[in-house]
Amino acid sequence: MQINQINPGTAFHRSPNRIIATLFGAVYLLVGLLGFFWTNGVPFAGPGDGSNAILGIFEVNPLHNVVHLLIGVALVIAGTGTAASAKAANSTVGAAYLLLGVVGFFLTAPDGGRNAINFLSLNTADHVLHLASALVLLATGLGADKGATRAREQPEPAGATTV
């Protein structure tokens, strides 16, 4: 009789990485979709005039919305997978957001953000949100589910008998 010693993986409610990846992914998907209601007449990859802010707070343009959708999809897929995949996705997206949080200031400095270099149509509220997202994702990705590795969370092979 074959004995299955493979760890079935971390349950969703016990894995901070799976919870945060799914939650953030869903929020970014929602924001990516809602954003298109505020980008009428805004250049695809350029700054708006200030009226293109979701709820009057977070400025977006169509490219910014597409990026939100892609990040949302990636996080939801990772979050509904294993803790290891969620951990990797959170760390990667967190690092990217940290970089954007800093680089964003360089993009918005010329002409108060109305220069063409501001290709994501960022504003200060976006910087706060990006930095906060980066810190949450990095802290969770690097600090939680430390035992989760791909090798330990492989799905159960067909035909294996659990004892």
Partner 1 sequence: MGAGLIHLGIAAGSAPVLLALFAGIGALEVLWSVVALSRPAPAPAASLAGAVLLVVAQLAVLLSGSHDHEAAEPSAAGVAVPLGTILGALLLDLALAALLALRLRRGSPTGVVAAIPFLLGTAAGAGAVALITATSLAGSSLGGQHLH
Residue 84 is encoded by which pair of tokens? 């290891």
Rank residues 15 and 52 by Cβ distance to partner 1 and give the closer one: 15
Told to check if 101 binds partner 1 by CB under 8 A, we report: yes
If one counts every other C-beta atom within 10 angstroms of the C-beta of residue 140, the result is 23
Of 42-50, 51-59, 72-80, 106-114, the segment contacting partner 1 by CB under 8 A is 106-114
Rank residues 22 and 52 by Cβ distance to partner 1 and give the closer one: 22
**Helix, coil or strand: residue 31:** helix
Q: Within positions 12 to 51, which residues make up the interface with partner 1, using CB under 8 A? A: 13-16, 19-20
Calpha distance 158→138 (Å, rounded): 35
Told to check if 139 binds partner 1 by CB under 8 A, we report: yes
Calpha distance 8→145 (Å, rounded): 14
Calpha distance 93→86 (Å, rounded): 10
Calpha distance 38→62 (Å, rounded): 9
Told to check if 74 binds partner 1 by CB under 8 A, we report: no
Kindly list the residues in this chain that would bind partner 1 in the complex (CB under 8 A).
Answer: 13-16, 19-20, 98, 101-102, 105-106, 108-110, 112, 124, 127-129, 131-132, 134-136, 138-140, 142-144
